[in-house]
Structure 1
Amino acid sequence: MLGQLHDLDLHHLRLFVSVVEAGGFSAAQGALGLSQPTISQHMARLETRLGYRLCSRGKAGFRLTAKGEQLLLAARTLFASIEQFRQQSNGVAGRLLGEVRLGFSEALDPTVIQRLGLAVQRFRQRDESVRIELLSTMPADMERLLLEQRLDLAIGYFSRGQTAFDYRPLFTEVQQLYCGQGHPLFSAEGDAGELLRDADRVEHPYRFLQNREAQLMANSTARSEQVEGTLAFILSGRHIGYLPRHYAQPWVDRGLLRAIEQAQALFDVPFYLAGRRGQGVSEAQRAFAEDVLASFAQHP
């Protein structure tokens, strides 16, 4: 009686099925490349393992016993399952599985969103069955969410101080200082340095702004972590603040915002694709990162 199934048992079962399909020991010699005595020995070992006879062989010819018939059905089912497993496991070997969670900063330029869409398109052309989650979040939260493993990848501007992450450059965004209609700076001509120093600015939690704002202006009674909040403060005509140029331009065109033209009021912010290093990165996450990088390289 079989307990655990070993490789030798599988070998003997395959031989048994071949003998039956050939119609007997003698007929199976060519198909198996074995002599009749050797085939007989293997069949005898299988019967010993099972504890019952599988076939009758003699002058009446080769004939399966009732138990042999049952084993033949079971063996064919087993080998069909093994083949199905082989095909499925080979398919999984080359297929990307799991999930990818990517965070990205708010209020990005539409061309950036378009390139992100191209990255998804490239990834979906792979052999994959992956759930992708895209999450727009505040830049100040990006590295924390990555550290907490609530995100796998993130597109934004970073302190780049986390040794656990890779930071790969993607594109540059222009930030500029703006005032709204009704603010003294809106209609100011010439050097507006004093007005700028006295202006009530919108405070941001972003590291790349802190030193710059301190150089230009000291007063702040407004704070916003979101671009939309900053815009609302500026449109009030009582505060000035930094906005991405692409985001502010429609409001400038409508005559509601004015860019402040000062040496410290315009600068570039580099954006990176950040992700964890090491063995915790799945094949799907690595492949999606490659597609993001390729899409941004293709459309600079």
Structure 2
Amino acid sequence: MLGQLHDPDLHLLRLFVTVVEAGGFSAAQGVAGLSQPTISQRMAQLEARLGYRLCSRGKGGFRLTEKGELLLQATRGLLLNIEQFRQQANGVGGRLLGTVRVGMAESQDTSVSLRLARAIARFRERDEAVQLELISAPPAELERLLLEQRLDYAISYFSGNQAAFDYQPLFEERQRLYCGKEHPLFRADEVTHKQLLEADQVRHPYRFLKGGEPFQSQRCLATAEQIESVLTFILSGRHIGFLPCHCAAPWEAQGQLRALDPQLDFTVPFTLARHRGREPGEAQRAFVEDVLWAFTPASTCPARSAPHQPPARTD
């Protein structure tokens, strides 16, 4: 039975919640950054400290005991109270304090970066001494960091399947199908749908669209999650693939890429996501207020600058 509650006990309780939300020891490995034997050992430590069994794990799968269910509810309440205490203590005196950690998808359009910069500038006009942290990562990584509550917010495209997240729409990004200048379709007078179906297409393992899937060819010998990797495959002249129009534009202007069929374009919704279990403090709420202001169409944001140009052609 737990007597006094110490920091190691809190770490074990946080791991317990992570295991439950992941659905078992094996599934929690990637989220917790620990091996399955280590997770099993630490859960055994927690059960020993408590004096009762928390879950059953075997052929029937992972399942909480009745006492495990009660502890889960109590632990979530405890962690929420701790976070609220931390935020309230940091906000004493009316001045915004603490840290705001924000993740964002890579290779953003210039206009998106300018709007986010304007939000930061507006936030800095407040009475605050807040440490701001910006982290760029692929969408799947941002989801993982949000689930681990290592981020307060993330701006990206998401699957929308995480019940633990709240989403607020910000903007949309247009994607288009391209080929490189060495690809047989690059100099074709007319590209048919049959030719596209037979072309080798780069596939993205993280799909998120709700309004129907975009075009999919019948061949796939290349997979990439990051935009830069997709671009590299396309520039090889051996694959076609979708890219954000703003990323492809400078390469298209240099004659390195060709848009294949604008009718296959689709838009990707970008949202501001946060973990529902992480109650935002004053600093977090103020920063989000400024972000939403900056992404409101009526806000007066700086004009979009010229895109960064790729290296000069050497051919």
Aligned to 2:294: 295
Instruction: After TM superposition, give the deviation of residue 278 of structure 1 in Å.
Output: 5.7
The structure-2 alpha-carbon separation of the partners of 1:278 and 1:147, relative to structure 1 and needing over 3 Å to count, comes to: closer
Instruction: After TM superposition, give the deviation of residue 262 of structure 1 in Å.
Output: 5.2
Aligned to 2:246: 246
Matches within 5 A, 1:5-20: none
* Equivalenced residues, count: 209
Aligned to 1:133: 133
Aligned to 2:172: 172
The structure-2 alpha-carbon separation of the partners of 1:216 and 1:161, relative to structure 1 and needing over 3 Å to count, comes to: closer
Aligned to 1:268: 267
Q: SS state of the match for residue 142, structure 1?
A: helix
Q: SS state of the match for residue 126, structure 2?
A: coil
- 2:135 aligned partner, one-letter code: L
Aligned to 1:234: 234
1:32-85 deviation line (CA, Å, top 9, x unaligned): xxxxxxxxxxxxxxxxxxxxxxxxxxxxxxxxxxxxxxxxxxxxxxxxxxxxxx
Q: Is the 8 A contact 2:152 2:278 kept in 1?
A: no
Find the aligned partners of 1:209 and 1:203 in 2 and give their Cα distance.
14
Structure 1 or 2: larger helix share? 1
Find the aligned partners of 1:208 and 1:185 in 2 and give their Cα distance.
28
Q: SS state of the match for residue 158, structure 1?
A: coil
Find the aligned partners of 2:288 and 2:157 in 1 and give their Cα distance.
16
| Structure of larger gyration radius | 1
1:143-166 deviation line (CA, Å, top 9, x unaligned): 221111111100011112223322
Q: Is the 8 A contact 1:184 1:195 kept in 2?
A: no
Q: Is the 8 A contact 2:172 2:270 kept in 1?
A: yes
Instruction: After TM superposition, give the deviation of residue 299 of structure 1 in Å.
Output: 4.9
Aligned to 2:213: 212
Aligned to 2:6: none
Identical amino acids, percent of aligned pairs: 55
Aligned to 1:18: none
Aligned to 1:23: none
Q: Is the 8 A contact 1:140 1:205 kept in 2?
A: no
The structure-2 alpha-carbon separation of the partners of 1:204 and 1:217, relative to structure 1 and needing over 3 Å to count, comes to: same
Aligned to 1:99: 99
Q: SS state of the match for residue 154, structure 1?
A: strand
Q: SS state of the match for residue 100, structure 2?
A: strand
1:86-121 deviation line (CA, Å, top 9, x unaligned): xxx9x9321111101100001000110011111111
Find the aligned partners of 1:171 and 1:106 in 2 and give their Cα distance.
15
Aligned to 2:61: none
Is there any run of 5+ residues in structure 1 with no aligned partner, and where? 1-88
Aligned to 1:155: 155
Instruction: After TM superposition, give the deviation of residue 279 of structure 1 in Å.
Output: 6.1
The structure-2 alpha-carbon separation of the partners of 1:145 and 1:288, relative to structure 1 and needing over 3 Å to count, comes to: same
Instruction: After TM superposition, give the deviation of residue 218 of structure 1 in Å.
Output: 2.1
Find the aligned partners of 2:159 and 2:216 in 1 and give their Cα distance.
22
Q: Is the 8 A contact 2:149 2:278 kept in 1?
A: no
Matches within 5 A, 1:20-169: 92-169=92-169
The structure-2 alpha-carbon separation of the partners of 1:191 and 1:251, relative to structure 1 and needing over 3 Å to count, comes to: closer
Find the aligned partners of 1:218 and 1:271 in 2 and give their Cα distance.
28
- 1:288 aligned partner, one-letter code: F
Aligned to 1:255: 255
The structure-2 alpha-carbon separation of the partners of 1:299 and 1:138, relative to structure 1 and needing over 3 Å to count, comes to: farther
Q: Is the 8 A contact 2:197 2:218 kept in 1?
A: yes
Is there any run of 5+ residues in structure 2 with no aligned partner, and where? 1-88, 302-315
Q: Is the 8 A contact 2:209 2:268 kept in 1?
A: no
Q: SS state of the match for residue 160, structure 2?
A: coil
Aligned to 2:223: 223
The structure-2 alpha-carbon separation of the partners of 1:254 and 1:191, relative to structure 1 and needing over 3 Å to count, comes to: closer
- 2:238 aligned partner, one-letter code: R
**So what's the TM-score if we normalise by structure 1?**
0.65
Instruction: After TM superposition, give the deviation of residue 192 of structure 1 in Å.
Output: 1.4
